[in-house]
Structure formats: structure tokens, C-alpha cells
Structure 1
Amino acid sequence: MTHLPTAADVETAAARLAPHVRRTPILRADVDGRPLVLKLEHLQRSGSFKLRGALNALLAGELPDRVVTASGGNHGLGVATAAGVLGVPAVVYVPNGVPESKARRIDATGAKLVRHGDTYAEAAAAARAEAGRYVHAYDDPGVVAGQGTVTAEIVDECPDVDAVVLAAGGGGLAAGAALAAGDRTVVTVEPTGCRAVHAALEAGTPVDVEIDSVAASALGATRIGDVPFAVLRAAGAVPLLVTDAEIVSAQERLWEEFRLRVEPAAAAPFAAWLAGRVPGELPCLVVCGANS
């Protein structure tokens, strides 16, 4: 297996990324008489946390002549944005069903957009045949360490937070959180129809899952990455599931309460919290993206 990233790698990533990414705001609030903290990562450049991991992976070594990736949308936009920042040509493979808003934004960066297959896995298989530096959406130590900078900012600004709650697809964001969270509980939240992380932690090994959810474009990994799985299992992450109806309701509530308009995946942690499933007295929910 590729070497596993560490907390020190997250610290290195934070310093490396500081000139290029936004330190996104944190909002303390009370909803239904209960306190919570929201990390507004949907305000990140490119509209999601994905820029952090993509930039860190590219900056960790010698810049390639060309970067290639596959994505359900957000990671592709993050890689395309990172490549633009660094002056590197990019090719992004996406499934045929990618939301048009995400495809349009990837295309607008100047990256070459290629539609292929019906799932992320099919797009990824085709992308790997392209020449260039392939940046995996989540199964890459540099990507995981870069995503960990989200939680590093939370811990720095809100040390009293006792749980970090994140939407989980392939596990990169959650694994990064596990590296940076210290002794805080890391909670992964997935739709019942996209449960790659939950199924792997339950089975004790990565397994293939079927995908069917309103949040599938962001959380539609059919299998957790080996690197995220090893990190999350060692950290004792708590996996939770929410229904699509709960996600949509949470999206609406985020708008009503805070005027936050986010994509379905970003509402998943709030859905779990509203349902009373999230442990901790003061959890921080990561609002991960706004690319509907």
C-alpha cells in the first residue's frame, strides 16, 4: 500500500497551501436549542474543499507537464482550478450524468473535459489511460493531507469542538479530518444509497457498493480508497447514514436558518445532526460544497 499520511503531513500542507486557498469562515450557532459550529467550506475557491487536496498533491513534488483526473464534478473542478493556478494543462474525465453546472464550470477553467461512462469508476478507468500525472479524487496521501487542512482550521479556531462531522464519498475529506482532529470524534455521513465508507468500516475491508442518491454526483464513490480506509479505521471513525429525504430537508433548513444554498452532499452532516444521530456536545459540521 502507498504510505499513509500523518498529522505532520497536514501541517506541511497547511503551510504549502496558505498562499492559494481561502481560510473559510466558521459560524457558531444554535438550532432548535442546541449549539453547533458550521465550517463554511462551500465558500472555498472552486466551490468546495477539493481544491485543497488537488493543490497539495501537485505541489508536493515536481510539477508535471500535464495533469489528469476523474471526478463526479467537484474534484475535477478542484484539479482544474489548481492546474490553472500552477499553469499546468489539465484533462478531467467525468461520468455522462455529471450535473451540467459542474461540467460548465470545469470547462470554463480551460481544462479539457471528457465525458465517459455512467459512474465515477468508469470515468476513472478511462482517465488512467491518459498520459500525465493522475490525481486520484481521494486515494492519494497528498490529497488526503490537503483535505485535512479543513479540520486543522477548525481545531485552531474552535478548540472546544468535540466532534468533526463530514460528508463521505471515497473518504478523503474524512481521512484528512482524522489526521487533524486530535482526540475529537470524526463522524462520516453518507446517504443510504451511497455507503462506501459505512460498508467498508462495517465489513472491515473496502467493498464495492451500488450508487443511488440525490447526492451521488459528489458522494458516488463505489468503493472507499485504501488510504482513507486505513486512516479512518485506525481513528475509530463513526459512520452514519441519512436518507435522501433527510438531505433535501436539511438543504432547505440551511437556507431557512442561515441563507446557505449548498449542494445535497454538503447538507448530509446537518441532516444527521437534525436527526439527533451526531455524538458530541459541540460538533462542527463541514459544509463542503455549493456546486449543485
Structure 2
Amino acid sequence: MHQLTYGDIKAATDRIAGRVRPITLSPLDPGAIRTAHRDPLDEREPEPEPCEVWLALEYMQHTGSFKARGAQNFIQAHRDAGTLPDVGVTIASGGNAGLACAWAAQQQSIPATVFVPTTAPAVKVAKLRSYGADVRLVGAEYAEALAACEDFASTTGALASHAYDHPLIAAGAGTLLEEIRTRIPGLDTVVVAVGGGGLFAGVATAAQHHGVRVVAVEPENCRALNAAVEAGRLVDVTVDSITADSLGARRASAMALHAAQQDGVHSVLVSDSEIVRTRQALWDHRKVAVEHGAAAALAALTESAHVPDRDLPTRPAAPSRGYRPGNGEKVAVVLCGANTDPSQLVHPAAD
């Protein structure tokens, strides 16, 4: 297995420069997120200082998600190496990685064949076709689409990409952290949602180099990375969450597990109900329409308001619920995708 390095992130940053949209950041209102508990009987503790929380609006990226970074890095690296076959690329994806692959292939004028589970949202399938991809619906879960994709690659010679488990894909995603740090001097923590772990592995690799804490957020019933950290090895998990279309990997990548076992990483869980509530709040207060998977990251900070205060160990022995920033902590929360049907959001009645 290729161990992702900071050098991989730097190479990807240079490779995709000017080919993707730079990150946009938006601060939350001061006091919007509760900070860690202060003991009122301990006079040595300073008065609470509001944390500083920024939303990293990566849903504004090409194709509506961070996946464009990895896809661009993957295809451009093969273009530079002269290893792009005429038959093009192929990928299995719940939607977003396929969109990014199809877009990047279109940029390079090569064919893309995308294998998608039959459960993928219609909005993503339609968008895939708009990028000129040959879309093939196979199976009810990602694993079935992946098997069909691998068979296609072996019989046609197409270059097989991956939704998350490839060093070029993860390194491309990691370029996010490089941009965020440039924009937020003194960044303490970055919060990311985790599916198979491509975004997390890339961001965590860059974050470790810079001494930035990483909070890896998963739905409680869709916890491939959290279960792997708990077991100390990769394991298969049941996928039963409203976020399944984007975070529904049954098994995390080895790169992600390796990154999660490093210092400065917190693995936390959130409930589907809090994800739904947070997604709706983003719409109500900011008119931001993101996927449930994207809302999961911010839900970690809001769910922490409903659980008892406690210290979070670096590697929790049992699943932790949410994340509570410390006093004055500078936090960036990655809103990673917006390929969703906005009609699902509740439109409150006018006053």
C-alpha cells in the first residue's frame, strides 16, 4: 500500500493549480458554536472565549464537491506520464466521484464510463450524463458497482479510477487543507465528514504536517473508519444512514486508517437526526443547500451541545459523540458537496 505523504499533497497542489476553484470561506456568527465546559469553581480557568468557526464552502467546487480535486489530479498525473488510454477512464461511484471523473475526463477530451448503484439520486445520474459520461446502473450498493467497474477495466483496458482509495485521489483532496491554512492563519482544527476516507486521508496527511487537529465525522450507522479505529484493522460495516449516497462505504481505505491512527485525530459519530437538523439550519439561516453527507461535518459541532462535556482522547476507545471546540479555538468545517435535491428542504412559512 502506498502511504500518503505530504510530498504527495504538495505535488497535487502544483498539478491542479488553476484547474480547480479556490476554496471560499465564510465565518459563523461569534458564539454560534458552544465551547468546552468551564469549571466555575476553578478560579485558575480563564473566562470562556468564543471559538472561531469557518465554513469551507467546497460545495461551490466544479461538479459540486471536493471530488473534482482528486479527479483532476488523477487524470492530469496520468496525462503527464503518458498513461491515459484511448478508451478513457472508468470509475464506480455513488455519484460525486463519478461526476468529478466525468468532468475531468471531459476537460481532457477522453471518454468516461461510470458505474453507479441503482440507489444513486436521480439528480446525480442526470448530471453525470450532462458531462458526456456513459452511465451504467449496477447493484444496490457501491461494492456491486465497483465489481462491475473492475470487470470493465480488465476487459477493455480503460484506466480504473476509484471513488476514494487511490493516493492520487486522496492527495488531490488534501489540497483543500493547504488552501484553508493560507486563508486562516493559526488554524487549530479542521472538521471533515468521512465515507471511504479519501478526503479525510488527504486532509489529515496535510494537517499532520502542519500540526492541525483533524475531526473525522461519521454517521452513527455508517461508520467504516470509526469501526476500523476501534478494531485496529479494516472491517466491513453495515450502511444504514440518510447519508448513504455519499458516505456509504462499507469499508474505509487503508490510507484512511493509517491517517486516523496518527496523533491529533479525533473520530466522532453523529446521529442522522442531527444531520437532518443541521442541513435544514444551513438552508434556513444561510440559504445553503448541501447534501446530508456535507452537513454531517457541521453536525459534529452542533450535536456536541446535546451531549455531556468530557475530554476527547486522541484515539477514543469507544465512539465519541460530536466535538466541542476549546476556548478561542480556530476551526474550519468542510462542507464538501451540494449535489442534492433542494426541494427536499423545508421552506418555512413567511412571517
TM-score bucket of the superposed structures, by smaller chain: over 0.9
Alignment partner for residue 64 of structure 1, among 63, 85, 107?
85
Aligned to 2:194: 168
- Contact map agreement 1:138 1:228 (CA 8 A) in 2: no
Aligned to 1:285: 333
Q: Which moved more, 1:52-61 or 1:265-274?
A: 52-61
Residue identity in the other structure for 1:221? A
- Contact map agreement 2:65 2:338 (CA 8 A) in 1: yes
Structure 1 residue 283 displacement after superposition: 1.2
Distance 1:179 1:244 in 2: 28
Distance 1:231 1:82 in 2: 27
Distance 2:16 2:136 in 1: 28
- SS at the partner of 1:234? coil
Aligned to 2:55: 38
Report Cα offsets for 1:70-110 as digits up to 9, x if no partner.
Answer: 00110010101110111110000010110000010001111
1:52 is aligned to 2:69: yes
Aligned residues: 291
Aligned to 2:182: 156
- Contact map agreement 2:212 2:264 (CA 8 A) in 1: no
Aligned to 2:97: 75
Q: What TM-score results when the alignment is normalised by the length of structure 1?
A: 0.96
Distance 2:221 2:262 in 1: 25
- Contact map agreement 1:163 1:279 (CA 8 A) in 2: no
- Contact map agreement 1:147 1:177 (CA 8 A) in 2: yes
Structure 2 gaps of 5+ residues are 34-51, 305-321, 341-351
| Aligned-pair Cα RMSD in Å | 1.3
- SS at the partner of 1:72? coil
- SS at the partner of 1:130? helix
1:120 is aligned to 2:142: yes
Give 1 or 2 for the bigger CA radius of gyration. Answer: 2
Identity of aligned residues (%): 43
Query: Aligned runs of 1:251-266 on 2, under 5 Å?
Result: 251-266=279-294
- Contact map agreement 1:4 1:231 (CA 8 A) in 2: no
Distance 1:245 1:158 in 2: 31
Report Cα offsets for 1:256-276 as digits up to 9, x if no partner.
Answer: 222211110010011111122
